[in-house]
Amino acid sequence: MTVFGLSGPFIDWSALSPVVALLGGAVLVLLAGLLRGRAGRDFAVPFLTIAALGAFIGLTIWQFNRHTSIISGALRVDDLALVVNLILATAGIATVLLSARQSALRQAGHGEYHALLLSSITGMAVLAEAQNLVTVFLGIELLSIALYILCATEMRREQSLESGLKYLIIGSVGSATLLYGLALVYGATAATDFGAIARALQGSVVSDPLLLTGIGLIVVGLAFKNSVAPFHQWTPDVYQGAPTPITAFMATATKAAAFAIFLRLFDVAFIQAQEDWGPALAALATVTIVVGNVGALMQTSLKRLLAWSSVAQAGYLLAGVVVATRLGIQATVFYLAVYLAMNLAAFAVVLARERETDLGDDIDAFAGLGASRPLLAWPMTLAMLSLAGLPATAGFIGKFYLIDAAVDGGYTWLGIVIVIGSMISLGYYLRVLAVMWMRPTAAPAIAGGSTEVDAPAAERPRYGGIEVAFVAVLFGAATLFFGIIPSPLLNLADHAGRALLGLL
């Protein structure tokens, strides 16, 4: 491409169009946020945000089965990136709906809030398509900086500000560690492109201490982003303090993007060193599964419980990366998709109870929910059963797929760890169900409690608002549907596996 007589890399704008749609949408949303009047703030901004995400989905589907590198190989558009794009867009649209009545919109501004959301999704899309060490870091920073701010958007609530500050500090440490690791890998291989790194590792450099140190630091940096133990300490505090729609977004979208780059780095760039990093990642996965499940057992806050649950789920997902096979890639992508449905259903119900009661996300707020709010109780029930991996739910299919991949890849013992972890998790998932279905209805809201909706208890929206109930029911139903008929998601996972397999 030549501009003003200066030559630059060729850019395939059609392949880059999904990312362009997000960036263009962020600019339009920011400008729409300047409109006067409630209609502009409350309706135009969310509508434009969803429209941008809709364009993102449409352009993503248009690119399917097209495998091409763009911007001198810095990004690669293939079915793995496109499937992750669909996960990101779904999480983004759900977050917009869940945010409709949030006080964060009034405090931070409608335009700024939604523009930051689109910017974060842009960073995640770039990360999922990254084919170069430099692009990896750019994607990580673009998604992270926006999330730091979004966590602190409820500026009148101390916990939200604390959440943003903690995530900023820990995230910065993780980014710095990742950057050091990327620099060491470049120093050992003299390459930043994933393909060139893989070719360099076919020689004696594969045993270079400089390379192995770099890979270790990259594991630590990505472990911070993925809530992998022992680098998970920030997760419960940040999940609990952040606005619940942002917590739901972080729990699903960030994990999808971070595991996509995990797959690209370790199952493509570092595949020749799998014998060195495979056992280490397997040990890390085991520790993560144990720490996450044990940590969740004594939690009374549902957001903290789901945070510890996300730690354990990261351990399950690592099993698909460890085996470095096509089956492992497919199992990881499939589980990321069902993890999206399970968590959005759960967090939507948590948000509804925060808005309906002064008990916030405390487990007591869910007492008697089966009798008083069955429309919320059933999605939460399906989400908990699916996260536990019980049959007839999407979570069962996902865990079975991961165990199959681990056994097929020679890590049978890791598959056994996944089973044991799932058994331990019944101790806290079933406790939530017991509270909802077996305890009497919680007492009415007590004045003076904290809530995310600035209104008296009698004026608060039933079910947290129709949009919240819609998200809960939709993704609760999806959890059941894909547990019975998983073939649509299995086909998408198969496409992603084939795309990455061509690079191995």
End-to-end CA distance of the chain: give it in Å, rounded.
Answer: 30
The band of 5, judged by pLDDT with boundaries at 50, 70 and 90, is low
The band of 153, judged by pLDDT with boundaries at 50, 70 and 90, is confident
Q: How buried is residue 37: exposed, middle or buried, by Cβ count under 10 Å (0-12/13-18/19+)?
A: exposed
Instruction: Tell me how far apart the alpha carbons of residues 11 and 25 are, in angstroms, rounded to a whole number.
Output: 20
Q: Give the type of residue at 394.
A: A
440-468: per-residue pLDDT in tens? 875 544 433 344 444 555 456 666 678 89
Question: CA 428, 243, 361, 472 torsion: positive or negative?
Answer: negative
The pLDDT of residue 294 is 94
User: What mean pLDDT is reported for the chain?
Assistant: 87
Instruction: Tell me how far apart the alpha carbons of residues 314 and 311 are, in angstroms, rounded to a whole number.
Output: 5
pLDDT at 257 over 90: yes
The pLDDT of residue 216 is 92
309-352: per-residue pLDDT in tens? 999 999 999 999 999 888 989 999 999 999 999 999 999 999 99
The pLDDT > 70 percentage for the chain reads 90
260-303: per-residue pLDDT in tens? 999 999 988 888 888 888 899 999 999 999 999 999 998 999 99
pTM: 0.91
The pLDDT of residue 331 is 93
The pLDDT > 90 percentage for the chain reads 53
Put residue 37 in one of left, alpha, beta given phi > 0 → left and psi -120 to 50 → alpha: left
Judge whether 113 and 150 are in contact, CB under 8 Å: yes
